[in-house]
Every structure is written in C-alpha cells, then in structure tokens.
C-alpha cells in the first residue's frame, strides 16, 4: 500500500469572537472529491470514498478522535504531538465530501491561529493508504483504500479542487495486527538480487527473517 495525499486549497478558515473576547477558529470546505480525474491522473471512485468516509465518521469523528496535523507528515499514523485541529464533520455533497474542523489550542494549533491572524493562505491535505489500478487513462484507487485523516493543514496546496500526490515512493506499508508498518522493500530486494545462485536460498531465508522481525518490532 502506498501513502497518498490529496491537497485542497478551496477551504474557508473561519474566525468567530465570543462574548468574552476569545476567538474560535475553524475550517470548512471540500476535503475530498470522487469520480474526478485529478492533475496526477488519479481517481477516487465514489462508492469507495463513501464507504471509507462512513467508517471514518463511525470510528473517529463520532468518538472525537479525528485529528489532523500541521504540515506534511511522512507516514499514515497521526502524531499527537503535532495535532493542530480536530475534524468534527465529514459528509457528502454530490461528488464532493465537505469537511469541518476546529483549530485546537495545542502548540501546533496556536501556530495555525497565528498564521490565520496574519492572513496566511493555507490549505488542507487528506492522507490515506491504498493501492492503484491503471485503467481508462487514469490510476484508480482500489477498494483497500484507508483514510488515515480527512485533513492535515498545509501551506502549499497546489490545485484548485483536489490533487492527489503520491509520496515516499521507495516505501510501502502493510497491515500487521491492525497497525500499519513501513516496509523498506527496496533494501530487501537488493539483497536478494545481488546474491549468487548458490547463495539465493540462504539470502532469501535471511531476508524473510529480517522482514518478519521488522513488522513485529
């Protein structure tokens, strides 16, 4: 499975002042789009997004566990030390999925608030895991798609609506006992391919043991 992100810039940052002078900050806008070929030539089928958004609502939003980070994280797991906001709504609107999030009073949330106060242009980036299949001139996200977070806050959104960008090209991720584990597949491949024919069985066994050790640590 590859880590894929989708950068979105047409979101609204809302600031509301309470009676006691405190400011509440929130985000609202299109967090994801379905059945649209983006600039990277990728498509999220609507039925797959609908199923995954339902699970995300049930498991995360409804339990107040739907957090997002500031910046572009390098993996699928949300790092609580970098959390800046909590997503409290994610619902369909045609082929779009509208999201709403509250900026939290965490260290990274305070940075976001300061950026908003200074007029910075920010966007959001959904983060998920999945495999792709190429058909009809586009890469379609398959039904193993897993939404890790509906929105991270980013400073460099690069598309008018939705734009999927694959990152960490040399790494893959697999499920292990309900957790995603990073696999350095290329390093293992090099060991196998550089082995002689007589060494191949021994190297294969060693590589397999290294793989098992990596996903169980």
Mean pLDDT by 10 residues, the chain (217 residues): 75 86 89 83 91 96 96 84 96 94 95 88 86 89 92 65 28 57 56 61 58 49
12 and 41: one domain?
A: yes
111 and 150: one domain?
A: yes
140 and 191: one domain?
A: no
**CA trace torsion 27, 3, 67, 26 (10° rounding):** -10
The answer to the question of residue 88 being in a domain is yes
211 and 135: one domain?
A: no
pLDDT at 11: 83
The answer to the question of residue 179 being in a domain is no
The answer to the question of residue 207 being in a domain is yes
Active site residue 126: no
Q: Centre a 10 Å sphere on the Cβ of residue 34 and count the other Cβ atoms it contains.
A: 20
pLDDT at 160: 32
87 and 143: one domain?
A: yes
152 and 190: one domain?
A: no
pTM: 0.71
The answer to the question of residue 178 being in a domain is no
pLDDT at 121: 79
Q: Centre a 10 Å sphere on the Cβ of residue 73 and count the other Cβ atoms it contains.
A: 20
The answer to the question of residue 176 being in a domain is no
Q: Give dist(CA 137, CA 195) in Å, integer.
A: 38
CA atoms within 13 A on the CB side of 196: 2
37 and 74: one domain?
A: yes
The answer to the question of residue 78 being in a domain is yes
pLDDT at 187: 57
The answer to the question of residue 211 being in a domain is yes
66 and 109: one domain?
A: yes
201 and 95: one domain?
A: no
51 and 96: one domain?
A: yes
Number of domains in the chain: 2
Active site residue 26: no
pLDDT at 97: 93
pLDDT at 111: 93
pLDDT at 189: 57
pLDDT at 74: 75
pLDDT at 86: 97
pLDDT at 83: 96
The answer to the question of residue 124 being in a domain is yes
Looking at the DSSP assignment, which residues form a beta bridge with residue 13?
27
153 and 201: one domain?
A: no
- What is the domain range of residue 192? 184-216
190 and 125: one domain?
A: no
The greatest distance separating any two alpha carbons of the chain, rounded to the nearest whole angstrom, comes to 78
Q: Which of the residues 125, 134, 140, 158 is marked catalytic?
A: 125
């Amino acid at each position: 499975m590859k880590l894929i992100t989708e950068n979105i810039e047409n979101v609204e940052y809302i600031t509301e002042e309470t009676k006691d002078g405190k400011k509440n900050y929130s985000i609202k806008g299109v967090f994801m789009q379905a059945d649209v070929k983006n600039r990277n030539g990728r498509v999220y089928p609507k039925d797959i997004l609908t199923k995954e958004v339902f699970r995300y609502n049930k498991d995360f939003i409804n339990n107040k566990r739907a957090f997002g980070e500031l910046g572009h994280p390098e993996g699928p797991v949300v790092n609580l030390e970098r959390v800046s906001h909590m997503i409290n709504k994610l619902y369909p609107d045609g082929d779009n999925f509208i999201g709403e999030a509250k900026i939290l009073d965490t260290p990274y949330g305070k940075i976001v608030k300061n950026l908003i106060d200074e007029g910075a242009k920010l966007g959001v980036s959904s983060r998920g895991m999945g495999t792709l299949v190429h058909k009809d001139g586009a890469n379609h996200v398959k039904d193993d798609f897993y939404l890790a977070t509906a929105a991270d806050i980013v400073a460099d959104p690069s598309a008018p609506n939705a734009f999927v960008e694959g990152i960490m090209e040399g790494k893959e991720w697999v499920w292990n006992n309900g957790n995603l584990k990073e696999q350095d597949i290329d390093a293992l491949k090099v060991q196998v391919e550089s082995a002689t024919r007589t060494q191949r069985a021994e190297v294969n066994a060693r590589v397999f043991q290294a793989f098992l050790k990596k996903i169980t640590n």
